[in-house]
């Protein structure tokens, strides 16, 4: 059994309040419902069957679902609404007479009747008022308990929200710390890579310079070798040089009794380009070397003969 209690105001007596209790079974008012109306002193009871609900919906040419929705909003909504109005006849009602409660819907300054119900006077209105009060107290207690549960749930959610906020702050700080650490590591690694790159660039530059110097030295050596070959050609013996050598040999023969003024032969040599000492030694003519040795032995023998004769 579902029950609702709400306050209503009559259109002819807006400053006076009535309390309407509605009891129904099922999910809505479509299967019929019971009404109890009281002003705190007098009370009236009535009933609306399912057939009456269907008949009124047909008279209004409305879908049953839409009609039941409007009916439930008019009779069971806890807050008064300007979209619905109530009239009670006869007015003022008496405790010994049957009254008719009519409920209407206002739409664009036009009202149309949703329905009406006949209410019979209750012989013991105090009991009816007591039932309304008990239900109101029970409903208030239920609402209070529900409110208490909502407060507890709200506190729990607030605590969870606070914990989540603290965790998020902690995670944010950790992320910032991690970012700073990763950035510092990245900077160190980048600096190391730059240092290695600079070192490699310097090594490559040095190798290139060394290779260039070697190429230049090789070119110089090639040029020097070419000049030395030309000098060897100019250093060949001529007819005049052969005559001088023959005259020197005859002058230093053992039959010549002249004083020996110079042991080694003297002759002019032409040098155009002086190469390295090693190359000069390597490129010396072997025939000239043998000639000098022979001349040296001849002179030595002549000197010995002179000493023996003395």
78-109: pLDDT as tens digits: 777 778 888 888 876 776 678 899 988 888 77
Domain limit, last residue, from 123, 154, 186: 123
Which residues, other chains included, contact 251 with Cβ-Cβ below 8 Å and sequence gap of 6+?
Answer: 258
CA atoms of 114 and 81, how far apart (whole Å): 15
Task: For 259-304, write each residue's pLDDT tens digit.
Answer: 444 444 444 444 444 444 444 444 445 554 555 566 666 666 766 6
Q: Element (H or E) spanning 18, and its range? A: strand 13-24
Expressed as residue numbers, the domain containing 195 is 125-210
Place of tokens 């980048």: 190
Task: Kindly compute the dihedral angle of the four CA atoms of residues 107, 113, 115, 119, in this order, to the nearest 10 degrees.
Answer: 110
Establish if 135 belongs to a structural domain. Answer: yes
Q: What is the pTM of this model?
A: 0.51
% of the chain residues with pLDDT over 70: 71
Q: Which of 88, 123, 158 is the last residue of a domain?
A: 123
Mean of the per-residue pLDDT values for the chain? Answer: 78
Is residue 5 a contact partner of residue 139, using CB atoms and an 8 Å limit?
Answer: yes
pLDDT, tens only, 7-29: 888 877 777 888 999 988 878 88
Whether the CB-CB separation of 251 and 260 falls below 8 Å is answered with no
The angle formed by the CA atoms of residues 66, 69 and 70, to the nearest 5 degrees, is 90
Residues 91 and 187 in one domain: no
* Nearest CA among 275, 278, 252 for reference residue 263: 252
With cut-offs at 50, 70 and 90, classify the pLDDT of residue 169: very high
* Domain end position, chosen among 89, 123, 157: 123
Whether 225 is covered by a domain: the verdict is: no
């Amino acid at each position: 059994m579902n029950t609702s209690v709400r306050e209503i105001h009559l259109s002819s007596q807006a400053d006076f309040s009535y309390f309407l209790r509605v009891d129904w079974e099922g999910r809505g008012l479509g299967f019929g419902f019971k009404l109890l109306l009281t002003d705190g002193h007098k009370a009236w009871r009535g009933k609306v069957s399912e057939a009456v609900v269907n008949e009124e919906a047909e008279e209004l040419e409305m879908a049953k679902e839409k009609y039941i929705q409007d009916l439930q909003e008019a009779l069971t909504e806890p807050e008064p609404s300007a979209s619905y109005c109530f009239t009670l006849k006869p007015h003022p009602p008496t405790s010994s007479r049957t009254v008719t409660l009519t409920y209407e819907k206002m739409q664009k300054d036009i009202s149309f009747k949703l329905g009406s119900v006949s209410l019979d006077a209750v012989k013991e209105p105090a009991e009816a008022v007591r039932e309304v009060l008990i239900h109101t107290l029970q409903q208030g207690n239920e609402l209070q308990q529900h409110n208490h549960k909502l407060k507890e749930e709200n506190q729990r959610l607030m605590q969870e929200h606070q914990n989540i906020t603290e965790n998020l702050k902690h995670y944010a700080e950790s992320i910032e710390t991690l970012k700073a650490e990763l950035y510092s590591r990245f900077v160190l690694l980048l600096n190391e890579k730059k240092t290695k790159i600079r070192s490699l660039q310097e090594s490559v530059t040095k190798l290139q310079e060394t290779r260039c110097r070697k190429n230049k030295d090789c070119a110089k050596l090639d040029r020097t070798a070419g000049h030395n070959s030309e000098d060897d050609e100019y250093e060949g013996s001529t007819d005049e040089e052969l005559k001088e050598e023959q005259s020197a040999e005859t002058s230093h023969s053992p039959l010549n009794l002249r004083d020996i003024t110079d042991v080694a032969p003297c002759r002019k040599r032409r040098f155009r380009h002086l190469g390295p000492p090693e190359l000069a030694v390597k490129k010396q003519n072997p025939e000239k070397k043998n000639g000098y040795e022979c001349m040296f032995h001849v002179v030595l023998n002549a000197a010995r003969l002179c000493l023996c004769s003395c």
